[in-house]
Amino acid sequence: MARKLKYDIPGPDWRVEVEEAREKGWPALFDAPALPLVVEIGFGRGEFLTYLAGEAPNQAFVGIEYSEKRVLKLARRLARSELRNVRLLGVSAQEATARTIPDASVSCFWINFPDPWPKKRHFKRRLIAPAFARELVRCLRPGGILEVATDHRGYAGWIDEVLNGTPGLENLNAPQPWRASPEAGRMATAYELEWRALGHPFHFFRHRRRP
């Protein structure tokens, strides 16, 4: 039998509404005067985001995820944790960036294993697409980093093409399009461990907004 979702937040609630983020701005929401933000898009179970935030308590982390259930579950976990530097937005990445993230305010975007939408008729649903890549560049500070990982070979080729065709981005793995293995110390999510056990290939992209 499916477990019933619990809606109460047993401590501080770090979820933020889009309107609140627009009106107050991220520095006020983090109670810090000026911040570079670190943003994870599609955080899923949230273990990567909470790991990053625990490693860098003085940085401000925004998690964006359009699954309401996943946002709720992470909000409950954060409420019970000591972390004070994570805020969650439960909307699509496209809406979150367009409506809440000012120009040149993000030091790093993490996009780990976005849904590959392998059927041709679904390619238009892919998160990494030319318009959204331009939007990420707008949000990044000069020198800011975009990290993307996928285990899907076809999507990797597509991501490579999109990112290399986006003005203002440079590939830090050049002349290779991506790394096939993670950098030492990078945390693996539960999905990643499952796929690794199944022998999936990995593609880790790292691009920088040109200074």
Positive or negative: CA dihedral 28, 31, 36, 40: negative
58 or 145, CB closer to ligand SAM? Answer: 145
How many DSSP H helices and E strands does the chain contain? 8, 7
Which window, 37-45, 73-81, 100-108, 139-147, contacts ligand SAM (CB under 6 A)? Answer: 37-45
Which window, 52-60, 61-69, 151-159, 168-176, contacts ligand SAM (CB under 6 A)? Answer: 61-69
Q: Which two tokens stand for residue 70?
A: 């996943």
Residue 16 lies near ligand SAM (rule: CB under 6 A): no
Residue 67 lies near ligand SAM (rule: CB under 6 A): yes
Residues 51, 117, 123, 191: which binds ligand SAM (CB under 6 A)? Answer: 191
Partner residues linked to 57 by β-bridges: none
Question: Residues 88-127 vs ligand SAM: string with x where CB under 6 A?
Answer: ----xx------------------xxxx-----------x
135 or 170, CB closer to ligand SAM? Answer: 135
Distance (Å, whole) CA 193 – CA 177: 23
Distance (Å, whole) CA 32 – CA 49: 20
Cα 149 from chain centre: 10
Q: Are 163 and 207 in contact (CB under 8 A)?
A: yes
Which window, 36-44, 52-60, 97-105, 137-145, contacts ligand SAM (CB under 6 A)? Answer: 36-44
Told to judge if 160 belongs to the known catalytic residues of this protein, a careful annotator would answer no
Distance (Å, whole) CA 111 – CA 40: 6
Q: Which two tokens stand for residue 13?
A: 């609630």
Residue 151 lies near ligand SAM (rule: CB under 6 A): no
92 or 171, CB closer to ligand SAM? Answer: 92
Binding residues for ligand SAM, total number by CB under 6 A: 18
Closest CA to 115 of 42, 15, 164: 42
Q: Which residues bind ligand SAM (CB under 6 A)?
A: 41-44, 64-67, 70, 92-93, 112-115, 127, 189, 191
Catalytic residue numbers? 115
